[in-house]
């Protein structure tokens, strides 16, 4: 049964055909045209030599400022005293983890991710 999902863009096999034609010295533009590939896409494949897609979006652990250790520390702070303000927790993180400066909003987002509710004290 054929898939109902519409394919977006050329497949990696089609890109490889264009790249192989270029490397052999054949007319790679004609190969791209017969595979239904845009000329800009074919040009990029020929110039970069890359036929697979680059990763897009998602969580990149090497870019994350809040490590699992910091999340555990946030939870420990809340377990010991649930009335800490976000500013106090920011200061606690700064003292416990040298060189880490996390905003109050980031603390709030991670606390909410742990299913705690943050209420404003009047």
pLDDT on residue 32: 94
| Residue 1 predicted with pLDDT over 90 | no
Q: Is the pLDDT of residue 25 over 70?
A: yes
Q: Is the CB of residue 46 less than 8 Å from the CB of residue 19? A: yes
Write the DSSP symbol of residue 82.
Answer: T
Report pLDDT for 100: 85
pLDDT digits 0-9 by tens, 51-100: 988 877 776 666 678 888 999 999 999 999 989 999 999 999 999 988 88
CA end-to-end distance (rounded Å), the chain: 61
Average pLDDT, the chain: 86
Neighbouring CB atoms inside 10 A of 60's CB total 8
């Amino acid at each position: 049964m054929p898939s109902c999902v519409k394919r977006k863009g050329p497949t990696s096999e089609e890109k490889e055909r264009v790249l192989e034609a270029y490397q052999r010295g054949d007319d790679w533009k004609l190969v791209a045209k017969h595979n239904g590939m845009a000329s800009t896409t074919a040009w990029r494949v020929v110039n970069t030599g890359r036929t697979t897609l680059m990763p897009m979006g998602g969580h990149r652990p090497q870019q994350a400022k809040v490590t699992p250790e910091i999340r555990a520390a946030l939870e420990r702070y809340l377990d010991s005293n649930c009335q800490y303000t976000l500013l106090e927790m920011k200061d606690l993180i700064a003292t416990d983890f040298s060189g880490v400066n996390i905003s109050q909003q980031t603390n709030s987002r991670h606390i909410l991710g742990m299913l705690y509710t943050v209420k404003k004290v009047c």
